[in-house]
Amino acid sequence: MKNITIIIPARNEEASLKKLLKKFKLYKKFYNEIIVIDGQSSDKTVEIAKSNNCRVIKQKSLGYGAAIVKGVKAVKTKYFIIFDADGSKDPIYLDRFYKKLKKDKTEIVYAERYGVGAGSLDDTVITHIGNRIFTIVGKIFFNLKLNDILHTFFLCEVKKFKQIDFEFKDFSFCVEFPIKAKRNNLSCSYIPTIEKKRYDGIPKVRSFVDGVKILTGMIILFFKR
């Protein structure tokens, strides 16, 4: 079953990362390796990652999207999955990801927080409304079937990911990936998930500022067909 690498972008997430990596030990049979992409942390994030046998890659060009792209370049397995260092994405879904991949024989499996059997314990009113708006825009202007465009929780074939030319280094990557995956004709399927509250620390997403960047990114992508 093993042919999966876990990628975790992290910046100053020592408290949450320690708890998350402890939980990952319960699901070791579902993955080969964990790569932590360190965004120039000033706390013990790197120390905690190394003490838990993770491969640490230093990030020179900051940004959530930049971290993911850098991480995938270092992957040696056939597939990878993105997890956030705050613990909101639960390792309990590793088995479900893999089974869905093999059953549907798709190149991507997206996790969704909306729909039957899904939900979020970490959503605020602002983030919920924003996500619904961006998801609707994705459906109308990009013909996406995805019900949760901002939830960057997916399993993907490494080779297919590397075929995509990404341009956004920040949280605009969240919409850039599904839009460009669609344009590159990557097959996909979906699983419902429950997003947990972050374990600890300060959220890195700035709802309004990053929301504007994401909307700007979608406009750019629309006119770059």
Q: How far apart are CA 8 and CA 49, in angstroms?
A: 10
pLDDT reported for residue 1: 55
The fold adopted by the segment(s) 4-223 is: Spore Coat Polysaccharide Biosynthesis Protein SpsA; Chain A (3.90.550)
pTM: 0.94
For 123-180, how does the pLDDT look when each residue is reduced to its tens digit (9 = 90+)? 888 888 989 999 999 999 999 999 999 999 999 999 999 999 999 999 999 999 999 9
99 CB-near residues (< 8 Å, 6+ apart) = none
Cα-Cα-Cα-Cα torsion 88, 71, 165, 112, nearest 10 degrees, comes to -20
C-alpha 160: how far from chain center: 16
DSSP, res 124? -
Structural domain spans, the chain: 4-223
Q: CB neighbours (10 Å) of residue 133?
A: 14
Q: Rounded to 10 degrees, what is the CA torsion of 54, 55, 57, 58?
A: 50
- The segments of the chain whose pLDDT lies below 50 read none
